[in-house]
Amino acid sequence: MSVRIRVNGVEKTLDVDPEMPLLWALRDVLGLTGTKYGCGQALCGACAVHLDGQVVRACVTPVRRADGHSVTTIEGLAPDGSHPLQRAWVELGVPQCGFCQAGQIMTAAALLKAKPKPSDDEIDQSMAGNLCRCGAYPRIRAAIRKAAGMPEGER
């Protein structure tokens, strides 16, 4: 079966098992490796992407669910990589190993779209599904605040 998806603004036709998780379609078939595998069970958020603007866990989303829809990955978040979150992430030195950060940023981007000035509690709530083993959480929170044009807060 072929699946048609608009990926980062470009129409793609994939000839894959419709049950294949979107994660593996992105990584193995389309070569978009910015989206990461961390758990395969929607527990860690490393694979977070946008499906029609909503955050989904690509590791448990069958590719058929994206048929006829639009997917945005970290590679397509900003045409020149200068999304306010990406800038804040670099300026505040958020990443340690960096592996989870694509998922963190995609989740935070959806949060800021829905809530341009989130409170710390709202940040914690929205980001609760994104694990970071290096423990960059305080800087993640600060960078979201910075990208939102709010004071970074003490950390």
Partner 1 sequence: MSQDVVRVTRRSFLVGLNLSLAGLALGLPALADEPSGRAGPGPRAAAPEDGPGLHPNPFVHVAPDGMVTIVCHRSEMGQGVRSSIPVLIADELGADMARVVVRQADGDKKYGDQNTDGSSSIRKFYDDLRYVGATARTMLVAAAAAKWKVKPETCEARGNAVVHPPTKRSLGFGELAEAAAKLPVPNRENVKLRPRSELLRVNSPSLPLLDGPAYVTGQAVYGADVKLPDMLIAVIARPPVVGGKVARYDASRALKIPGVKRVVEMPAAQRPYGFQPWGGIAVLAENTWAAMRGRAALDITWDPGDNVVYDSSTYREKLLASVREPGTPYRNVGDVDAAFAKAARVVEAEYTVPHLAQMPMEPPVAIARFAGGRCEVWAPTQHPQAARAQVAKTLGIGEDAVAVHVTLLGGGFGRKSKADFSAEAAFLAREAGVPVRVQWTREDDIHHCYYNAVNAQRIRAGLDANGKVIAWHHRTAFPPIGSIFTETDKPGLNDLQQGVLDLALDVPNVRAEGCKADAHVRIGWYRSVYNIFHAFGIGSLIDEIAHARGADPRDVWLEIIGPPRTMSLQDLGIEKLANYGEKLEKHPVDAGRLRRVIERVTASANWSGRKKDGRGYGLAAHRSFVTYTAVVLAVVPDERNKVRVDEAWICMDAGSVVNQDRARAQMEGSVVMGISNAFLGGITMKGGATEQSNFRDARIARIGEVPRKIHVDLVPSDGPPCGVGEPGVPPVGPALANAVFALTGKRIREVPILRGLFA
Q: Which is nearer to partner 1, 56 or 105 (CB)?
A: 105
Q: x/- binding map, residues 118-137, to partner 1, per CB under 8 A?
A: --x--xxx-xxxxxxxxxxx
**Site membership for partner 1, residue 61 (CB under 8 A):** no
Residues 7-36 interacting with partner 1 (rule: CB under 8 A): 7-13, 17, 20-21, 24, 27-36
Min. distance of Cβ 50 from partner 1 in angstroms?
13
CA atoms of 104 and 85, how far apart (whole Å): 10
Min. distance of Cβ 128 from partner 1 in angstroms?
5
- Using CB under 8 A as the binding criterion, the count of chain residues that bind partner 1 stands at 76
CA atoms of 139 and 27, how far apart (whole Å): 28
**Site membership for partner 1, residue 40 (CB under 8 A):** yes
Q: Of residues 3, 46, 47, 55, which one binds partner 1 by CB under 8 A?
A: 46
Q: Of residues 47, 51, 55, 102, which one binds partner 1 by CB under 8 A?
A: 102
**Site membership for partner 1, residue 151 (CB under 8 A):** no
